[in-house]
């Protein structure tokens, strides 16, 4: 079975014509913990305004973020962020980065404004500027009224927002968001998504969003990178995928499906079996729906249902997971 | 990103020099530490021995006051190395208890709340983090140990005259070295314990244990059983005592003499203190071990193998 959005074998260049250095440039990056290799020879340059990092548990998403932040050394290869090498210019890189960790992270016995101010100062802001921006960041994320409360007394949703505030207080050029909607109720999740989109649309910062929730990534990101077993299985531009003219059809059939799919394959169309008697087809240039009716007749297959379907992120993700591995 | 604008805006202003950023940690930590009235009171009490010291120095030079109190200063006390050494000891013990209160939560609280990635994802290194956390104690303890002692020395010099100051300048260096070494050891010990144990009470108990259990073991089992003083090399307090004595010129290699009757023969046994170099080496090894443990534990994320 075929059809991932793109399965890179060669270095990826999403928009190769760019003169600016890519946001993240991976040069055969590998990371090992002991004998276990977590990230395997990652290559590619990511240039999106908002890049979604997807993958099942243990795929290496968080390890990739941590390595880019300089928390783990690369066992082979390297990476660059805005043209700066992660192993040689880690400190300069971290001055350009904001990071919102996945786990509950805060400094105890501090009010939110004190905490965000401290984080601002550690990023190099003078004390007064840090205080001013701490107030602004907390208002921006919606914690303005609760900014003098101690962080220990915050709800999970408020803690997530406080983490976002500390990540943006110094106005970074790149923000890593690791599972920002984890544990949030629907209104809080919507608020978080809205904030991420606002930051993205401001055009002042790039975002790398790591999430298990495909919907979050779909709503916020223009590019996605899917990892599996420490390898890149898909890297694509969601917008381009959406805009592409590839036609997706969902079919429900009865009869000898095997013969039918063989005939479809011979026609040059990519297909995927999505369940009992159901299959999804990508119509290639020059292939019309009436050709399918003809093939169905020849294969003595009944077409019970036929509907158009565009490739969603879920499709891309599921295909990436299936591709070459035989399923999730 | 003004409050009323509610938009994302990068920061374009001036940045602070990188070398000074570790000092942000003590500045913010002092706010938290001095929020406790109990601690503030305890810290203020720590200055009382210094007040007594200042009064003694003043009385030593105020014949009128001594006459009124019918005291003879020359018979009461002499202001020399031993005088300052005594107060260095007193303040050292007090510094230990301040360190016990302030030190253990400094790193452990960050570890418990996963705060290390927040520090280390910024242009802020692990070394700067450790330096920042240690400087909380270094500053706090310096203010009650060698800094006021040095002021007392200057006070005495002012009252006694420049000749005394010049003749006893070595005392100032002894005060500074003894104070800095002790404060550094306490800071290293408390940070190490704090980095190894996530819970404040457990960390405080461990710090007490590390200081007192080897002291008891050294003085009871090694010193008494083997009639030696080498047991002191595992006791932090004893080591500091020897080193301070060495610095103030009061160190005696002979710790004690006693006679033993053995088959009608009387033998004199001389117990010697461990040599000063051994004390310094022991302190150095202790510090190196603390630094190695700190370097091992202070990481943004621990990789679980």
List, for residues A148-184, the tens digit of each pLDDT value: 999 999 998 899 999 999 999 999 999 999 999 988 8
In the predicted structure, residue B1 carries a pLDDT above the cut 80: no
Which CATH architecture is the domain A245-322 placed in? Answer: 2-Layer Sandwich (3.30)
| Interchain pair B124, A95: CB under 8 A | no
Q: How confident is the model at residue A325 (pLDDT cuts 50, 70, 90)?
A: very low
Which residues in chain B have Cβ-Cβ distances shorter than 8 Å to A104?
A: 113-114
| Interchain pair A123, B122: CB under 8 A | yes
In the predicted structure, residue B304 carries a pLDDT above the cut 80: no
Question: Span A24-241: which CATH code?
Answer: 3.40.50.300
State the pLDDT at residue B262.
Answer: 72
State the pLDDT at residue A273.
Answer: 83
B121 → closest Cβ in A97, A168, A171: A97
Q: Report the residue of chain B nearest A164, measured CA to CA.
A: B118
| pTM of the predicted protein model | 0.82
Q: How confident is the model at residue A256 (pLDDT cuts 50, 70, 90)?
A: confident
In the predicted structure, residue A16 carries a pLDDT above the cut 60: no
| Interface membership of A124 toward B (CB under 8 Å) | yes
| Interchain pair B6, A139: CB under 8 A | yes
Q: Please give the tally of structural domains in chain B.
A: 1
Average pLDDT over residues B97-115: 92
**Per-chain mean pLDDT for chain A:** 85
Which residues in chain A have Cβ-Cβ distances shorter than 8 Å to B102?
A: none
Measuring CA to CA, how many Å separate A124 from each of A84, A154, B26, B119? Answer: 19, 27, 16, 12
Q: Nearest CA of chain B to the CA of A23: how many Å?
A: 17
Average pLDDT over residues A290-300: 88
**Per-chain mean pLDDT for chain B:** 89
| Interface membership of A205 toward B (CB under 8 Å) | yes
Q: Report the residue of chain B nearest A205, measured CA to CA.
A: B10
State the pLDDT at residue B75.
Answer: 65
A136 → closest Cβ in B1, B114, B119: B1
Which residues in chain B have Cβ-Cβ distances shorter than 8 Å to A136?
A: 1-3
Average pLDDT over residues A247-272: 84
Average pLDDT over residues B43-70: 88
For chain B, what percent of residues have pLDDT higher than 70?
96
| Interchain pair A71, B112: CB under 8 A | no
Interface A-B: count of C-beta contacts within 8 A: 133
* SS3 track for chain B: CCCCCCCCCCCCCCCCCHHHHHHHHHHHHHHHHCCCHHHHHHHHHCCHHHHHHHHHHHHHCCHHHHHHCCCCHHHHCCCCHHHHHHHHHHHHHHHHHHHHHHCHHHHHHHHHCCCHHHHHCCCCCHHHHHHHHHHHHHHHHHCCCHHHHHHHHHHHHHHHCHHHHHHCHHHHHHHHHHHHHHHHHHHHHHHHHHHHCCCHHHHHHHHHHHHHHHHHHHHHHHHHHCCCCHHHHHCHHHHHHHHHHHHHCCCCCEEEEEEEEECCEEEEEEEECCCHHHHHHHHHHHHHHHHHHHHHHCCCCCCCC
Domain ranges (residues) in chain A: 24-241, 245-322
Indicate if ipTM > 0.90: no
A204 → closest Cβ in B8, B122, B125: B8
State the pLDDT at residue B71.
Answer: 74
In the predicted structure, residue B77 carries a pLDDT above the cut 60: yes
| Interchain pair B9, A204: CB under 8 A | yes
Which residues in chain A have Cβ-Cβ distances shorter than 8 Å to B24?
A: 118, 121-122
| Interface membership of B63 toward A (CB under 8 Å) | no
| Interface membership of B52 toward A (CB under 8 Å) | no
Range(s) of the domain holding residue B198: 20-227+290-297
| Interchain pair B300, A33: CB under 8 A | no
Q: How confident is the model at residue B294 (pLDDT cuts 50, 70, 90)?
A: very high
Q: Nearest CA of chain A to the CA of B242: how many Å?
A: 40
């Amino acid at each position: 079975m075929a059809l991932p959005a793109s399965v890179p074998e060669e270095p990826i260049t999403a928009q190769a014509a760019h003169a600016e250095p890519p946001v993240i440039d991976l040069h055969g990056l590998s990371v090992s913990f002991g004998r276990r290799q977590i990230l395997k020879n990652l290559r590619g340059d990511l240039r999106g305004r908002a890049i979604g990092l997807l993958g099942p548990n243990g795929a290496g998403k968080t390890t990739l973020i941590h390595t880019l932040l300089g928390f783990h050394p690369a066992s082979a290869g390297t990476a660059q962020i805005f043209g700066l090498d992660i192993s040689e210019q880690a400190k300069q890189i971290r001055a350009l980065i904001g990071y919102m960790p996945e786990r509950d992270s805060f400094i105890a016995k501090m009010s939110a404004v004190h905490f965000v101010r401290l984080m601002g100062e550690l990023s190099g802001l003078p004390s007064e500027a840090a205080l001013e921006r701490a107030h602004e960041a907390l208002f921006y994320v919606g914690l303005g009224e609760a900014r003098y409360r101690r962080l220990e007394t915050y709800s999970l949703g408020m803690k997530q927002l406080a983490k976002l505030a500390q990540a943006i207080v110094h106005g970074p050029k790149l923000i890593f968001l690791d599972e920002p909607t984890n544990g949030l109720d629907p209104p809080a999740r919507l608020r978080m998504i809205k904030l991420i989109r606002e930051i993205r649309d401001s055009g002042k910062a790039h975002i790398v969003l790591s999430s298990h929730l495909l919907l979050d990534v779909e709503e916020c990101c223009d590019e996605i990178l899917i990892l599996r077993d420490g390898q890149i299985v898909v890297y694509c531009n969601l917008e381009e995928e959406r805009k592409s003219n590839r036609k997706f059809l969902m079919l429900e059939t009865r009869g000898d499906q095997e013969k039918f799919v063989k005939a479809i394959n011979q026609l040059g169309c990519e297909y995927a079996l999505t369940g009992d008697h159901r299959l999804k087809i990508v119509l290639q240039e020059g292939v019309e729906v009436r050709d399918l009716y003809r093939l169905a007749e020849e294969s003595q297959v009944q077409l019970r249902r036929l509907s158009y379907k565009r490739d969603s992120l879920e499709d891309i993700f599921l295909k990436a997971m299936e591709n070459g591995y035989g399923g999730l | 990103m003004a409050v009323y604008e509610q938009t994302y805006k990068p920061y374009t202003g001036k940045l602070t020099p990188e070398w000074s950023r570790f000092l942000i940690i003590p500045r913010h930590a002092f706010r938290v530490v001095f929020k406790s009235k109990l601690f503030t009171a305890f810290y203020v009490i720590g200055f009382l021995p210094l007040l007594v010291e200042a009064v003694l120095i003043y009385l030593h030079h105020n014949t009128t006051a001594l006459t009124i109190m019918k005291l003879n200063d020359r018979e009461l006390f002499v202001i020399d190395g031993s005088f300052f050494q005594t107060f260095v000891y007193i303040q050292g013990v007090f510094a230990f208890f301040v360190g016990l209160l302030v030190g253990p939560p400094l790193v452990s609280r960050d570890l418990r709340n996963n705060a290390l990635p927040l520090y280390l994802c910024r242009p802020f290194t692990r070394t700067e983090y450790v330096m920042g956390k240690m400087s909380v104690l270094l500053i706090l303890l310096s203010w009650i140990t060698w800094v006021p002692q040095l002021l007392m020395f200057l006070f005495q010099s002012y009252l006694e005259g420049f000749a005394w100051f010049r003749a006893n300048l070595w005392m100032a260096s002894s005060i500074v070295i003894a104070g800095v070494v002790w404060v550094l050891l306490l800071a290293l010990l408390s940070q190490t314990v704090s980095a190894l144990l996530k819970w404040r009470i457990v960390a405080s108990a461990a710090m007490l244990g590390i200081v007192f259990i080897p002291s008891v073991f050294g003085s009871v089992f090694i010193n008494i059983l083997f009639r030696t003083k080498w047991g002191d090399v595992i006791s932090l307090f004893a080591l500091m005592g020897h080193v301070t004595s060495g610095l103030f010129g009061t160190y005696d290699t002979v710790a004690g003499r006693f006679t033993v009757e053995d088959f009608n023969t009387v033998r004199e046994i001389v117990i010697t203190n461990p040599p000063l170099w051994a004390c310094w080496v022991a302190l150095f090894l202790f510090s190196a071990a603390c630094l190695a443990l700190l370097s091992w534990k202070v990481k943004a994320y621990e990789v679980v193998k």
